[in-house]
Amino acid sequence: MLEIKQHSATGASEPKARPAAVPAEGVTIAEAARRTGVSAHTLRYYERAGLVISPVDRTSGGRRRYREIDLKWIVICTKLRATGMPIRGIRQYAELVAAGPGNEAERLALMEAHRADVLAKLAETQENLKMIDHKIDIYRGSLAAGDAGRLWAPVEPR
């Protein structure tokens, strides 16, 4: 079963307004886009790229109808993508989930590897942020001291 929980920076669950329940017949692609925060184009792409775990239902007229499980899965895909997981990794994960029980160790290994990548990128970002904070401190100090005009600027001498 898919489960998505929102967590604050402290790790505690935050109360969040619950969207209206997804009707049994599903929702339109426009409503699915609104509920998941991705475009209808992205939803179609996820389907074509093999990122969905089950076929998206269709009306008799061929229009897509997304069920609650589809929406939850799309949110998982977008979070994996937002954290830098390549499409091929998401596809691999989707294939493992769609295959059902018996491959949990492979799923765990995939998630642990991705977590390690995210932590490495986060550490790099934190180092870069330290440099930005240092530069901000220099500019604030120079502006407060009234000597900002003396700061180095990469200008060719004439």
Tens of pLDDT, residues 54-71: 889 899 899 999 999 999
**What three-state secondary structure class fits 30?**
helix
Write out the DSSP string of 113-137. Answer: HHHHHHHHHHHHHHHHHHHHHHHHH
Average pLDDT taken over every residue of the chain: 87
What's residue 14's pLDDT?
53
Q: How far apart are CA 83 and CA 93, in angstroms?
A: 15
- pLDDT band at 155; cut points 50, 70, 90: low
Mean pLDDT of 19-48: 92
- Within 10 A of 112 (CB to CB), how many other CB atoms are there? 10
Write out pLDDT tens, residues 101-147.
999 999 999 999 999 999 999 999 999 999 999 999 999 999 999 88
- Among candidate residues 19, 40, 17, the one with its CA nearest the CA of residue 29: 40
- Among candidate residues 20, 22, 25, the one with its CA nearest the CA of residue 58: 25
